[in-house]
Structure 1
Amino acid sequence: MKRLSISLTAVFILTLCLFVSSYAKKPKEIVIPCIIDISGPYAPITAPAFSGFSDACEYVNQRGGIKGVPLKPLIRDCGGRVNVAVSHYMGFREMKPKPLTLFISVSAEGEALKQRIVEDNLVAMSVPGGTTIYPPANTFGLYPLYQDMFGGFMDWVVENWDFNKMGRNPRIAILTWDTTFGRAILTPEVDDYAKKKNIDIVDKVLFSVRDLDVTTQLIRIKMKKPDWVYTNIAVDGVAAIAKSAQGIRYDLKLGGCTVLDWSAIMLAGKLLNGTTLLYTFKSWDDVNDPGIKLLTKWFKEKKRKPTDRTLVYQLAWANVLTMQEVISKAVDKVGWDKLDGAAVKIQMEKLKDFSPLGLTYYSFSPRKHAPGKGYIAQIKDEKIIPITGWRELPDLRPAEHR
């Protein structure tokens, strides 16, 4: 019986070691698993990640991959359903060798997988809603926190507000989705920052991600006479606001962040002209920018559809190039035989203003797992045009995580 117990213990330890092991030697390829909404309500903005990962991995592989090892994207569609995302993840974790990284395109999925990612010693990059990023664990933001971007928008409002002339504070109403993503800006830190900046938040109104008409919500907001209506949503939700405002002849001034992108413009067109955005990636319409020129070249060569020209196509490139950077540095530090998620995480937390193709800026630390730079842009003639340079955004993560 004692020998049996020892044998079972040895088998358990061996199995555990196999599960958490690093690469035993230089691999033939490095797989980058991606959980993406290729279908479902977010698909117009997120589905282009499929093309983005294919193109970015090919670009990196043409230049030697990671120390001679090619990258291979492994993409799974969850259609906006968290249970499907978890199921795909369970398949990823059984791969041999186990993946080092994970890409997540929806906040609710990032929240659901956060602890599993820690347990399995992976590193993830995710959109940053809810508790996906904080408390800091093994997940890093693909762009700044939604509340930080809202704070940056408020900074710009105050910079352009004449308190003496107007004789009052600027007024902002919030109209956003009733989802993890949409509610991400409804935090005490945002309220406190608005008070600090002498901004009055006059209303907070939610609507369903399935709603295509928000006339009732806009009538309520209009009565509060806000100077700006700020929203933390994307695609169909943005179109619903723009079209409903037109229906009641409400000439609102709309504000948003980096997720209000070309997929929304394709749906709402000229109705979005005049919208002001806190942006964190280079605009596709900045045609003279070297990074945008490169992406446009790949777009043409690969005959990508116009609908692929969204933020998330750029996110895919940024993720692949960031993984190339940190995995390469991790190999330099520990070698292929000891390469694992922990080694990659250490290198992620050392990034300072890393700028993949100049598209965005990534700076992380053990306490800060979301980047913090952006700029102000406006939609003019259905194009997203920068109107300021890059700036540091206010840090509005929960105080206990600073």
Structure 2
Amino acid sequence: MKKWLFGTLAAAALVATAPVLAQDDTTLPDFIQHTACEVDLTGSEIPIQHFGDISGSYAFITQPLLAGLADAAAYFNARGGACGATLMQDNRDTGGDPGQTQAAYDYYSGLENPPDVILLYASGDAELLRDQLAEDQIPALISAGSVAGLYGEDGQTPGWIYASNPLYADQFGSFCRYVGANAEQFPDPVVGYISWPGAFGESAYTPEVMAYCAEQGVTILETPEYFPPSATDITTNVQNLVDAGANILYTNSLASGPFMVAKTIVDLGLEDSVQLAGVNWALDTSVGLLSRTVLGSDGLPAVNGIIGSLPFHWWSERELPGVA
């Protein structure tokens, strides 16, 4: 587990591609090894095809993703691309609308040359397209996903969607293991689950996770609280969980979600009695930037002290290749 000290807050990147080199240095670093090109692809393009919500509730996360893809493509293109071919983005904004997600998939899968691989953003999109991707035999990459999206309704059947970081349910279970192993810090842990409704927000709250957490000595309240990403007041949601005995609030939301929970904890004067925790996205830069508007009693942003999973390297790990 990582305890987030606001002074070390930084973005977590899906792929680290920016080594410590001068901007005009067009050589590749030693840790990137290329095989010899058998075909000269100079003059052609290789599209990175992806679609998802870049204008709705997930924009705080997905817009930096697009910027990161653009930076990565520019970096490699400046160093010869892929055997001379230029990397470029081809994407569509669905605004979080499942109908638009389906329309985007219909477009890409119906191309004369369908994608060899496609990039998705959200768990809900993965659940919607899981069977279609398998039927069309198009692999999809996603940063993380729900059990249903990756393994089907039975939770046991792998499909054509591959995630780059742990399942949200596994992250919640890992958090419970951490809490159970640190009894001095958490002597009588009772967790209230508070998140957004929908495939992403609800994906970590499963019977299997609750049973695993109980084995770790951690109680999960049986009634979760959900609030929409557009909510500006979640006092009742937080108070319901605290009144039910929660001394830890775990959120499987991102951007404004963890911020709203932290803000409400501060507003209700619960900083000394309630620990905030969350999924890896709760440690994203966007959460800290949003939290600058609300300071806790320590004078630091409300989210200071949040605990959560961090399955990425951190910007402070300067000794690692690719971390500037």
Instruction: Calculate the TM-score normalised by the size of structure 2.
Output: 0.76
Q: Match for residue 150 of structure 2?
A: 133
Of 73, 96, 109 in structure 2, the residue corresponding to residue 57 of structure 1 is 73
Paired residue secondary structure (1:238): helix
Aligned to 1:112: 128
Q: Structure 2: how far apart are the matches of 1:81 and 1:292? A: 35
Structure 1, residues 341-384: CA drift from partner, whole Å, max 9, x if none?
A: xxxxxxxxxxxxxxxxxxxxxxxxxxxxxxxxxxxxxxxxxxxx
Tell me the residue number matched to 1:123.
Answer: 139
Find 1:230's aligned residue among 228, 250, 260.
250
2:181 counterpart of 1:159: yes
Residues 200-219 of structure 1: pairs in structure 2 closer than 5 A: 200-203=219-222, 204-219=224-239
Where 2:203 maps in the other structure, the secondary structure is helix
Q: Which residue number corresponds to residue 248 of structure 1?
A: 268
The whole-number CA distance in structure 2 between the counterparts of 1:159 and 1:60 is 44
- Shift of the 132–214 alpha-carbon distance from structure 1 to 2, 3 Å rule, reads same
Match of 1:283 in 2: 314
Quote the Cα distance in structure 2 between the aligned partners of 1:29 and 1:101.
15
Q: Contact (CA 8 Å) 1:230, 1:255: kept in 2 or not?
A: yes
Larger Rg: 1
Query: Does the 8 A contact of 2:53 with 2:62 survive in 1?
Result: yes
TM-score (norm 1): 0.62
Q: How does 1:144-183 map to 2 (within 5 A)?
A: 144-162=166-184, 166=187, 169-183=188-202
Q: Shift of the alpha carbon at 1:26?
A: 8.4
* Contact 1:130-1:181 within 8 A present in 2 as well: no
* Post-superposition offset of 1:149: 0.8
Higher-helix-fraction structure: 1
Q: What is the DSSP-based 3-state SS (H/G/I as helix, E as strand, rest coil) of the residue aligned with 1:265?
A: helix
**2:259 is matched by which residue type in structure 1?**
A
1:35 aligns with 2:66: no
Q: CA deviation at 1:182?
A: 0.8
Residue 191 of structure 1 aligns to which amino acid in structure 2?
M
Q: 1:57 to 1:194 in 2, by over 3 A?
A: same
Q: Note closer, same or farther for the CA distance 1:225–1:285 as it changes in structure 2 (3 Å cut).
A: farther
AA aligned opposite 1:108 = G
**1:95, CA displacement in angstroms?**
2.5
Give the secondary structure class of the aligned counterpart of 2:252. coil
Farther-moved stretch of structure 1 (49-58 vs 146-155): 49-58
In the TM superposition, residue 97 of structure 1 has moved relative to its aligned partner by 2.2
CA offsets 1:293-350 (integer angstroms, 9 cap, x no match): 1xxxxxxxxxxxxxxxxxxxxxxxxxxxxxxxxxxxxxxxxxxxxxxxxxxxxxxxxx
Query: 1:153 Cα deviation (Å)?
Result: 1.1
CA RMSD across the alignment: 2.2
Q: Residue 287 of structure 1: CA displacement?
A: 4.9
Query: What letter corresponds to residue 264 of structure 2 in structure 1?
Result: S
- Counterpart secondary structure, 1:279: coil
Structure 1 pair 215/179, CA: closer, same or farther in 2 (3 Å)? Answer: same
Q: 1:262 and 2:285 equivalent?
A: yes
Indicate if the aligned counterparts of 1:50 and 1:75 stay in contact, CA closer than 8 A.
no
Task: Note if contact 2:147-2:167 (Cα within 8 Å) is conserved in structure 1.
Answer: no
Q: 1:97 to 1:26 in 2, by over 3 A?
A: farther
Which amino acid letter does the alignment assign opposite residue 255 of structure 1?
Answer: A
- One-letter identity of the residue aligned with 1:151: G
Q: How many residues align?
A: 266
Partners of 1:283 and 1:222 lie apart in 2 by: 32
CA distance in 1 between partners of 2:40 and 2:115 (Å): 14
- Taking the aligned partners of 2:315 and 2:58, their CA distance within structure 1 comes to 20
Corresponding position: 1:188 with 2:219: no
| Alpha-carbon offset, residue 41 of structure 1 | 0.9
- Among the aligned pairs, what percent are the same residue? 29
Report deviation, 1:157. 1.0
Unaligned segments of structure 1, at least 5 residues: 1-24, 294-402
Q: CA deviation digits over 1:207-264, x for unaligned, max 9?
A: 2232221100111111233331111001111221122222211212101121111111
| Alpha-carbon distance between aligned partners in 2 of 1:91 and 1:158, rounded to the nearest angstrom | 48
Q: Which amino acid aligns with 1:140?
A: Y
Write out per-residue CA displacement over residues 49-83 of structure 1, whole angstroms, 9 at most, x where no aligned residue: 22111111222334444455443221211111111
Mapped to 2, the partners of 1:80 and 1:92 lie a distance apart of 18
**SS of the residue 1:181 aligns to:** helix
Q: Shift in Å at residue 274 of structure 1?
A: 0.6
Instruction: Give the whole-Å Cα distance in 2 for the aligned partners of 1:95 and 1:264.
Output: 38
> Unaligned stretches of 5+ in structure 2?
1-38, 152-156, 293-300
CA distance in 2, matches of 1:58, 1:191: 45
